[in-house]
């Protein structure tokens, strides 16, 4: 096989072999037993078991602890332009199948390992693509992939006027890649990094150059819609509002009044501007405050809110800090449960992969016990369907979202 395929080979430990057979596409540096041929950083290598059985082909990363990221377990695959075009079309067709046409205005087209593009994220914001490359293998072939993707989208009637690279993530340094952001060179594009998107009927300005991550958080699209359904006639407190997306969905859903809170003054200004853009300034108040201080202070006041939304940033980005993160999650959930009247509603979530579902549920039970309330679950939800969960790759399953009634 090696002579026929022409790729260098790596032999891996039984532990790595077992993980690959379970569906996980990563081989760590400590799991490589031997290497033959002359592999190039970011180049293709065949991965074999200790006994020489073919396990898959992937990109080598000489600087990363994730030494190989598998692309395919099919020994007949040839990684030419036709192969990559098929995979890009597959990813786009998947989004068109699982999402309504209006939801494609702002969606994630490529979700890394879940789409078998390890280390690559591509978000579509109306007429702009925002791209983040976190692996050296994808960095080496982005010059092939991005023009191909633009052509596929344009041929399908999508207007794409530019591709912006948000490669200012610290994770790139673990791959030996520099951090930067800027336009990917395509001919004829206008170079404004700001565009307007519509999600669930709410309009937002998105800045792909200076916005959070790739520009806007798309993974809560349908969870925001679920909140809107419950919000009619209610007085809502939206904690960690950021751009105001949950608050605006609640207001558009018919909430009597919404208070949107964030510790960042710039985020609050953005949320206020988004409320005005949608004609909701009279319903949504945007407040700069620390949620950890605000919730206890509200306990001393008469009951104001019958719907509280908790959408905090990731309190943990490693297993080592997961236990401490649960303390933070419990504090805000306990306080929210104490504030809500019987029959009130709570939306709560975690966007950290390391806050596993069982641990998050245990935290919620403990918070409810300490607050002296019971929780009636309405829905348990996850990330939007354009962020698919690939079974066997637990890193793709990260968002936990619950809707409860406090009884």
Cβ neighbours, 10 Å, residue 336: 26
Tokens representing residue 332 in the block: 């805000």
Fold held by 2-72: 2.30.130
334/67 Cα distance (integer angstroms)? 42
Tokens 């605006």 map to which residue?
Answer: 248
Where in the sequence of the chain do the CATH 3.30.750.80 domains occur?
A: 81-192
Where in the sequence of the chain do the CATH 2.30.130.10 domains occur?
A: 2-72
Please say whether the dihedral angle defined by the alpha carbons of residues 325, 326, 329 and 331, taken in this order, is positive or negative. Answer: negative
Where in the sequence of the chain do the CATH 3.40.50.150 domains occur?
A: 219-406
Q: Domain 219-406 classified CATH 3.40.50.300?
A: no
Fold held by 81-192: Transcription Regulator spoIIAA (3.30.750)
| DSSP labels, 284-342 | EEEEE--HHHHHHHHTTS----SEEEE-PPPS-SSGGGHHHHHHHHHHHHHHHHHHSPT
Active site residues: 351
Q: Which of 325, 336, 404 is nearest to 370 (CA)?
A: 336
The size of the chain, in residues, is: 407
Q: Which of 7, 158, 148 is nearest to 70 (CA)?
A: 7
Per-residue pLDDT of the chain (407 residues; tens, 9 = 90+): 444 578 999 999 999 999 999 999 999 999 999 999 899 999 999 999 999 999 999 999 999 999 999 999 999 999 999 999 999 999 999 999 999 999 999 999 999 999 999 999 999 999 999 999 999 999 999 999 999 999 999 999 999 999 999 999 999 999 999 999 999 998 766 679 999 999 999 999 999 998 877 778 999 999 999 999 999 999 999 999 999 999 999 999 999 999 999 999 998 999 999 999 999 999 999 999 999 999 999 999 998 999 999 999 877 666 777 778 889 999 999 999 999 999 999 999 999 877 788 999 999 999 999 999 999 999 999 999 999 999 999 999 999 999 999 99
């Amino acid at each position: 096989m090696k002579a026929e395929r022409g790729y260098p080979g790596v032999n891996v430990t039984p532990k790595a072999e077992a993980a690959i057979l379970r569906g996980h596409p990563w081989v760590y540096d400590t799991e490589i037993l031997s290497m033959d041929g002359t592999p190039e950083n970011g180049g293709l290598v065949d991965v074999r078991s200790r006994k020489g059985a073919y396990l898959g082909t992937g990109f080598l990363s000489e600087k990363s602890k994730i030494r190989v990221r598998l692309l395919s377990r099919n020994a007949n695959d040839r990684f030419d332009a036709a192969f990559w075009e098929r995979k890009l079309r597959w990813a786009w067709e998947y989004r068109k199948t699982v999402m309504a046409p209006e939801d494609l205005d702002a969606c994630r087209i490529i979700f890394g390992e879940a789409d078998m593009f390890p280390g690559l994220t591509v978000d579509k914001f109306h007429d702009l693509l925002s791209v983040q490359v976190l692996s050296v293998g994808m960095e080496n072939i982005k010059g092939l992939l991005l023009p191909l993707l633009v052509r596929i989208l344009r041929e399908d009637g999508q207007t794409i006027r530019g591709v912006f690279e948000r490669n200012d993530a610290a994770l790139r340094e673990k791959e030996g890649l520099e951090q930067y952001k800027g336009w990917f060179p395509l001919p004829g594009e206008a170079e404004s990094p700001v565009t307007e998107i519509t999600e669930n009927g709410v309009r937002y300005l998105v800045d792909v150059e200076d916005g959070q991550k790739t520009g806007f958080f798309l993974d809560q699209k349908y969870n925001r819609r679920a909140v809107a359904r419950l919000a009619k006639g209610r007085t809502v407190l939206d904690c960690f509002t950021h751009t105001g997306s949950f608050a605006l969905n609640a207001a558009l859903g018919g909430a009597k009044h919404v208070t949107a809170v964030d510790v960042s003054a710039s985020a609050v200004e953005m949320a206020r501007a988004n409320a005005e853009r949608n004609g909701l300034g009279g319903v949504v108040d945007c407040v700069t405050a620390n949620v950890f201080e605000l919730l206890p202070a509200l306990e001393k006041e008469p009951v104001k809110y019958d719907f509280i939304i908790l959408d905090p940033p990731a309190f943990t980005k490693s297993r080592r800090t997961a236990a401490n993160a649960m303390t933070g999650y419990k504090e805000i959930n306990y306080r929210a449960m104490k504030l809500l009247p019987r029959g009130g509603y709570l939306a709560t979530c975690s966007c950290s992969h390391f806050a596993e579902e069982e641990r998050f549920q245990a935290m919620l039970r403990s918070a409810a016990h300490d607050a002296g309330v019971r929780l009636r679950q309405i829905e348990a939800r996850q990330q939007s369907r354009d962020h698919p969960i690939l079974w066997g790759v637990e890193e793709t399953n990260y968002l936990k979202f619950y809707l409860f009634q406090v009884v």
